[in-house]
Structure 1
């Protein structure tokens, strides 16, 4: 166990000087209750008698007397030169505590009205582990830890107020500058740092947009199938989700207009549709922008993995062709760097800049400045661009490994669709199999296989699976394909 420099903090102990019980008895009883109730763990160090006496405002000899009494009871033990510790025997002798089931009230507390109404649309979260075939999982094994560690170490040697103080609610200026420069140079987006707001990942961006712009009953065009997290956020804010079909050219704008010509927001993933993988054509992009302008609505562009195109040049972002200022662009570092950062950003159109400034100043605690510093230097020193280039090549290789493994082992059951972008692809099921049934059966083999159905608001014509390849190497892809083939064989025979 790691030794604590000053012992446990015992601020819950209070001494009543007006009580008829002596101070020594009060202290002994309080310490005994903490030990037997689990507040102090077996092996945990108590504060030195001098420190505890000072904190409680009592005599040191009183504390020493309490320690001696607890030692006699076998609850604590003194180690010469080290201090006083909770006895290891407490781990086995402590009275059993009530289980969660026993302690839980008969009736759980109700959710807020809007969240309660939305919750029946939520789906359970699949395991986010680097195994076959988890989606949205970057290549941890290829991340440049040495460069990242060097930058982090340098920043932790900065002045203390820079790394320990409260972060700016709008985001750290150096990172906002770095993101703006990157978007201008690599994504073809004309923007300034003042239009960029740093948030704790894309999910917080969606929640911020929902809380800032959505009133209960507002209609939101949403790709069907589409991104689950964003859908949950808007549902929780009381939005009416309008499912709009997706084809090979992206969101079918004509169908959206037929279902709801008046809409508040439209949510799209035009660079690499989540989950089907199509890219929105220029014609559809212009049609969507025209529809948003006519409705007085806004378009949310989620560019979640658009950096990772393998071949040729990508289409421009929707934000890059938005002359009317209707697009709210959301980016994340969860895929380009790693998800534990919990770091993303919003690029707001000029008309919404002041609105987001107000919302973040009022409600956002900000993102840790140290993390923002790390990322801004990682971008500014050229490591980010080099990493993205390496990952494009690596993901192309892993995608090819999946296609080859699928051809060897999965052809009787799956039609795997080639892709040239991102960390996953889709595979259409053959023979009338259910994607949900395959997903459940695959989970028993320690495979994470997402059914397309889980991304749908309303059913689509075909059953399929979403197969991630970004987070695992070729050998694990091969082994995963073999295991998935065995899953299919068992389902088919059943």
Structure 2
């Protein structure tokens, strides 16, 4: 039984009212598809009976068109196998696309006011990578992921009943995964919650958009770390919020600065376990002050715990959510850092009084994250593989962090790379006279990716620096990357 019925050619349309013969129309349309790259060299065409049925013409008409294209060398007929696109078309440039309309003939559709305003206020995000290299900040250690265990669990679920893995998922998330996350948060982050407070989403970015949609009206004020996480800021901007940039000091977000700038705020966004991008951990004193400020303003706090599992050595500070006694904190987590980004899997833990509202919003707009993916992650957690992986990653990131600090000694005094106690990126501060953009561009020419600190700032923070990721690269690659940075003219010339 043949399992390949050939390319889908359903774009072919026959105009029966036209003067041109049907066989000629079919011949010309097929020829256009072949020459424009619509099917690949070596690809099999449908059988003549199949194509005739799909287009709605006689088989004789199809045979006539196929024979003409075969005679021209565009198709290759193989007895007993079928008709294939000729390999002679390999490497041939596709026919050019239709010319663009002349100026004045066409224009882009108008955007909504919200979209137009938000686009002007969006912060530029770095291209999100798929391949590890020094010093990309967005990727975990993909080289150490336990692929064999993942493949075993995947095979188990894809052999399950089709209804279980192929239908629409529950908008709030797979119950087994919600239960596994609740158990993990209790044991690892000190957060006690019920599974029905958890909502599984397609990554942290979707979580921020949902929070913005659920809670923010245009013009409401959001305290936001400055510098801070770009994606979350863009989500709130898109919702019409007024971003209030709040200074960061050695203890984290400055509550005093926030109260001075906007005492009546609706939300505060923080990354207390590992400030994005500066890397420090918010002190317990500052966490308690933030909770008190939110309570007095009747505001909520969004805690982004994007890499909170990865701390080095001593016990970490408790999560903000774990010391929240007044249900002010919305906790956002992601598996992009703890497992891998292409899962597109995250979760929101909401206060009990928001469960019903978020369940309704999810049911209105979301179809759920793929069920099989959620079930695989649930088993990965329940079988202890997640805990084992986190422990391994802590050791690996500590080794890579130490390798960066050791190698970066050669960059002083041009770059002051600061140690961090968690996560897999840190910041290197530059002298005030340094040109961030030139250093970033020069590094890219050498195959090194670094992010300027200014990219993360809603307003000028008065500091210059580079954000350096070390989690996704081996210690040897880190050392090679540092040597390339040291060769940049901007980092080699004497400081004035």
**Fold shared by both chains (TM-score > 0.5):** yes
Q: In the alignment, what sits opposite 1:35?
A: 34
The residue correspondences of 1:341-360 to structure 2 (distance < 5 A) are 341-360=343-362
Q: In the alignment, what sits opposite 2:230?
A: 228
CA contact (8 A) 1:329 1:347 kept: yes
Q: Indicate whether 1:118 and 2:118 are aligned.
A: yes
Q: In the alignment, what sits opposite 1:205?
A: 207
Give unpaired runs (5+ residues) of structure 2: none
Q: 1:462 to 1:55 in 2, by over 3 A?
A: closer
After superposition, give the CA deviation of every residue in 1:184-208 in whole Å (9 maximum; x if it has no partner): 1111101011011111110111111
For residues 488 and 93 of structure 2, the distance between their equivalents in structure 1, rounded to whole angstroms, comes to 47
After superposition, give the CA deviation of every residue in 1:430-475 in whole Å (9 maximum; x if it has no partner): 3631333322221121111112111111112322221111111111
Q: In the alignment, what sits opposite 1:173?
A: 175
After superposition, give the CA deviation of every residue in 1:282-334 in whole Å (9 maximum; x if it has no partner): 22212211211222221000000110001111111111111111111000001
Partner of 2:268, secondary structure, is strand
TM-score (norm 2): 0.93
The residue correspondences of 1:400-439 to structure 2 (distance < 5 A) are 400-407=402-409, 409-430=410-431, 432-439=433-440
By how many angstroms is 1:116 displaced? Answer: 2.3
Count of aligned pairs between the two proteins: 491
For residues 175 and 235 of structure 1, the distance between their equivalents in structure 2, rounded to whole angstroms, comes to 31
Q: Indicate whether 1:65 and 2:67 are aligned.
A: no
Please say which of residues 174-183 and 122-131 is displaced more in the overlay: 122-131
Q: 1:462 to 1:18 in 2, by over 3 A?
A: closer
Please say which of residues 300-309 and 438-447 is displaced more in the overlay: 438-447
Q: 1:291 to 1:100 in 2, by over 3 A?
A: farther
By how many angstroms is 1:237 displaced? Answer: 1.4
By how many angstroms is 1:114 displaced? Answer: 2.1
For residues 393 and 37 of structure 1, the distance between their equivalents in structure 2, rounded to whole angstroms, comes to 53
The residue correspondences of 1:379-418 to structure 2 (distance < 5 A) are 379-407=381-409, 409-418=410-419
Q: 1:94 to 1:70 in 2, by over 3 A?
A: farther
After superposition, give the CA deviation of every residue in 1:404-438 in whole Å (9 maximum; x if it has no partner): 0011x212312221111000111222363133332
For residues 460 and 12 of structure 2, the distance between their equivalents in structure 1, rounded to whole angstroms, comes to 59
CA contact (8 A) 1:136 1:423 kept: no
For residues 48 and 423 of structure 1, the distance between their equivalents in structure 2, rounded to whole angstroms, comes to 55
For residues 158 and 312 of structure 2, the distance between their equivalents in structure 1, rounded to whole angstroms, comes to 36
Partner of 2:338, secondary structure, is coil
Q: In the alignment, what sits opposite 1:280?
A: 282
The residue correspondences of 1:239-278 to structure 2 (distance < 5 A) are 239-278=241-280
Give unpaired runs (5+ residues) of structure 1: none
Q: Indicate whether 1:339 and 2:341 are aligned.
A: yes
By how many angstroms is 1:144 displaced? Answer: 0.5
CA contact (8 A) 1:413 1:488 kept: no
Please say which of residues 27-36 and 480-489 is displaced more in the overlay: 27-36
For residues 323 and 255 of structure 1, the distance between their equivalents in structure 2, rounded to whole angstroms, comes to 24
Q: CA RMSD in A?
A: 2.3
Partner of 2:380, secondary structure, is helix
Q: 1:434 to 1:296 in 2, by over 3 A?
A: same
Q: Indicate whether 1:149 and 2:148 are aligned.
A: no
CA contact (8 A) 1:308 1:388 kept: yes
CA contact (8 A) 2:485 2:491 kept: no
CA contact (8 A) 2:418 2:427 kept: yes
TM-score (norm 1): 0.93
For residues 50 and 86 of structure 1, the distance between their equivalents in structure 2, rounded to whole angstroms, comes to 18
Q: In the alignment, what sits opposite 1:456?
A: 457
For residues 439 and 352 of structure 1, the distance between their equivalents in structure 2, rounded to whole angstroms, comes to 43
By how many angstroms is 1:219 displaced? Answer: 0.5
For residues 99 and 132 of structure 2, the distance between their equivalents in structure 1, rounded to whole angstroms, comes to 31
Partner of 1:353, secondary structure, is helix
The residue correspondences of 1:48-197 to structure 2 (distance < 5 A) are 48-91=47-90, 96-98=95-97, 107-121=107-121, 122-126=123-127, 128=129, 129-197=131-199
Q: Indicate whether 1:316 and 2:315 are aligned.
A: no
Q: In the alignment, what sits opposite 1:295?
A: 297
Q: 1:180 to 1:100 in 2, by over 3 A?
A: farther
